[in-house]
Amino acid sequence: MFSVSCAPDVVPVAVTHQTTPALWPIRALSRSVTSRGGRDGDVSRWGVGKKKKKKKKSRSRSSSIIREAEHNVEPSCCSIRSNMLSMSDFVSGGSYEQCRETADWLLSNTQVRPTVGIVCGSGLGGLAEMIKDPEIFKYSDIPNFPRSTVHGHAGRLVFGTLKGKPCVCMQGRFHLYEGYPIQKITLPMRVFKLLGVETMIMTNAAGGLNQDYKVGDVMIIKDHINMPGFAGVNPLAGPNDDRFGVRFPCMSDAYDRELRQLAHDVASELGYSHFLREGVYCVLGGPSFETIAECRMLNRLGADAVGMSTVHEVIVARHAGMRCFALSLISNRAVMDYDSQEKANHEEVLETGRQRAEQLEKLVSTVVSRLEHNNNNF
């Protein structure tokens, strides 16, 4: 292990051979230096060691960054300032022991024993405000828990009852683009399982790929396309812990059929059928919004909406044996015309969430109120 000395306002970074997102720039830099140095007798990975005599060459950017690090000058590619997340937030995963520790801490600090878990998406945190007798924990106070870094995600865990059902609600979730390992992003799902949660309800804001969808529509997710998974980015990658679930879980029934039908029935009773849809959700890594070519491709693949969350949580929840139900609020239309002047932006996402919040909250709360009535179906 090598350590990088940084300026006083910088959190020290431990450089290991682990390929976590937070260390990608460092690893890329180290490869660059190794390729210049050659074998062990030459310049080492961080320029420390015996150097062979060579003719003077112009300094490359990578070698100058290394010299900065050696002289306690903040290297621009690998520093994390004190007002941002610490390195431990990035390198910790979601082992059984960590999840057990987190669950035990929560159980010792609340009398609520939730059977329903809810995850609020961008601009949809109002669902948590409907919980009665709330007991609130900031993510930063919970052992092993990540922290939300995105506007519109409050970063609080709310325990209480919703329509008489004991619930735990995540007021803000975590995303790949925040730099966390994928196992860290999905740690809450495993913690919820250890708390006794049986049913997970997720919401998100998504871009509409289906040309029949309008901004403000709500899509029941019936299936997903995991684009990061095609590149091996899957929360179940690595050694399997049988205490969570089986090595190869089935995903053809990831989104519970009976819960989807229940949502359709509730929407019909509430008069929401005119804006309720059902379709396929595609997840991308983000944080950049999709290009026109990407939107066209995803639409042809069969995706009706696209976003940056939910799928990883569903995979882990299903691995742990929990039922899953998910809704996407269509917050913007995906741009698929090169002549269009439309541009996706996060402010539009939050504004759409505010406009549709009341109906979405009523839909979810009514579904929750009827979960017990439908227990015989599962």
* Nearest Cα residue to 206 out of 298, 118, 128: 298
What's the pTM?
A: 0.75
- The reply to whether 309 belongs to the active site is yes
Residue 157 and residue 41 in one domain: no
Q: What does DSSP assign to residue 290?
A: P
* Nearest Cα residue to 103 out of 114, 93, 119, 116: 114
Burial class (CB in 10 A: 0-12, 13-18, 19+), 217: buried
Residue 48 and residue 196 in one domain: no
DSSP string, 273-312: GGGEEEEEEEE---SSPPPHHHHHHHHHHT-SEEESSSHH
The predicted structure's pLDDT at residue 348: 72
Residue 86 falls inside a structural domain: no
Residue 365 falls inside a structural domain: yes
Residue 65 and residue 96 in one domain: no
Residue 54 and residue 133 in one domain: no
Residue 83 falls inside a structural domain: no
At 75-94, the pLDDT tens digits run: 333 333 333 444 444 445 67
- The reply to whether 332 belongs to the active site is yes
Radius of gyration of the chain (CA): 23
Residue 114 and residue 31 in one domain: no
Residue 77 falls inside a structural domain: no
Residue 96 and residue 63 in one domain: no
Residue 23 and residue 106 in one domain: no
- The reply to whether 74 belongs to the active site is no
Q: Give the number of domains in the chain.
A: 2
Residue 117 falls inside a structural domain: yes
Residue 132 and residue 252 in one domain: yes
Domain that holds residue 107: 92-377
The predicted structure's pLDDT at residue 93: 64
Residue 85 falls inside a structural domain: no
Q: Are 371 and 223 in contact (CB under 8 A)?
A: no
The total number of residues written for the chain in this structure: 378
| Nearest-angstrom CA–CA distance, 276 and 264 | 8
- The reply to whether 234 belongs to the active site is no
Residue 47 falls inside a structural domain: yes
Residues of the chain with pLDDT under 50: 1-91, 373-378
Residue 50 and residue 171 in one domain: no
Here the CATH number for the domain that contains residue 356 is 3.40.50.1580
The predicted structure's pLDDT at residue 222: 99
CA 227 to chain centre: 14
Q: Which residue in 69, 175, 210, 322 is the catalytic one?
A: 175
Q: Which residue in 68, 178, 290, 348 is the catalytic one?
A: 178
At 251 the three-state DSSP class reads coil
- The reply to whether 122 belongs to the active site is yes
Residue 62 and residue 120 in one domain: no
The predicted structure's pLDDT at residue 167: 98
Residue 99 and residue 42 in one domain: no
Q: Which residue in 30, 63, 92, 122 is the catalytic one?
A: 122
Q: Are 96 and 104 in contact (CB under 8 A)?
A: no
The predicted structure's pLDDT at residue 71: 42
The predicted structure's pLDDT at residue 100: 97
- The reply to whether 76 belongs to the active site is no
- The reply to whether 336 belongs to the active site is no
At 315 the three-state DSSP class reads helix
Residue 213 and residue 358 in one domain: yes
Q: Which residue in 74, 177, 251, 297 is the catalytic one?
A: 177
Residue 208 falls inside a structural domain: yes
The predicted structure's pLDDT at residue 121: 84
Q: Which residue in 130, 189, 205, 267 is the catalytic one?
A: 205
Task: Determine the number of helices (DSSP H) and then strands (DSSP E) in the chain.
Answer: 12, 11
